[in-house]
């Protein structure tokens, strides 16, 4: 049966989506009424699930940090209440759970780019040092904080060492990350 669609910016994509997924006519009508933003969410929901890339990074990091803290499997170093995250910082983080948040953010980085190592992550989490009247320069973040967080994730079997160097995400890590992403997506859909 040939189904006519309205001409719009996603008309051809919708026809392809309709024929590949065999949507019913009632589902097709509700799909077109979703609009361009929620249309993407609907496609992702019905064509293979939600991944970490589909949700807002800030919300995912907060939820995954809560998951790490609730699981109790991540070993937090004793020095986390007094250490600075980089040499150019003046004070340690104010949040008591900052190590869980940093660990979740590091897992997100490893998920998005396989093979990233401690040196690259030091550059990413680095920042600008204030040198007074002299021009500012970029300084790297603390390697010890990043290394301990990565080791904790390895102990939880969420990441592993990449054969070419750096770290890569394991299947268990991908599963947990995508599960948290689905929870974030469903909670954001329910609040709208």
Backbone dihedral angles phi then psi of residue 88, each to the nearest 5 degrees: -85, -5
What's the pLDDT score for residue 149?
96
Q: Say what the pTM is.
A: 0.73
Q: How much is the pLDDT for 30? A: 47
Band (pLDDT 50/70/90 cuts) for residue 119 is very high
What integer is the mean pLDDT of 89-95?
A: 91
Does residue 35 come out as left (phi exceeding 0), alpha (psi in the -120 to 50 range) or beta?
left
What crossing angle do the helices spanning 143-155 and 98-112 adopt, rounded to 10°?
A: 80
């Amino acid at each position: 049966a040939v189904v006519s669609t309205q001409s719009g910016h996603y008309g051809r994509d919708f026809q392809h989506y309709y024929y590949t997924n065999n949507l019913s006519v009632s589902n097709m009508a509700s799909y077109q009424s979703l609009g361009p933003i929620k249309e993407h969410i609907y496609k992702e929901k019905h064509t293979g699930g939600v991944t970490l890339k589909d949700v807002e990074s800030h919300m995912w990091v907060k939820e995954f940090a809560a998951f790490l803290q609730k699981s109790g499997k991540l070993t937090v170093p004793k020095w986390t209440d007094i250490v600075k995250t980089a040499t150019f910082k003046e004070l340690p983080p104010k949040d008591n759970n900052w190590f869980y948040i940093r660990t979740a953010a590091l897992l997100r980085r490893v998920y998005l780019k396989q093979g990233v190592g401690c040196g690259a992550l030091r550059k990413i989490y680095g920042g600008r040092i204030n040198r007074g009247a002299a021009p500012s320069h970029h300084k790297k973040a603390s390697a010890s904080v990043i290394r301990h967080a990565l080791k904790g994730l390895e102990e939880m079997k969420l990441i592993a060492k990449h054969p070419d160097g750096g770290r890569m995400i394991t299947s268990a890590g991908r599963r947990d990350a995508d599960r948290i992403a689905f929870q974030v997506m469903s909670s954001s859909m329910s609040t709208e």
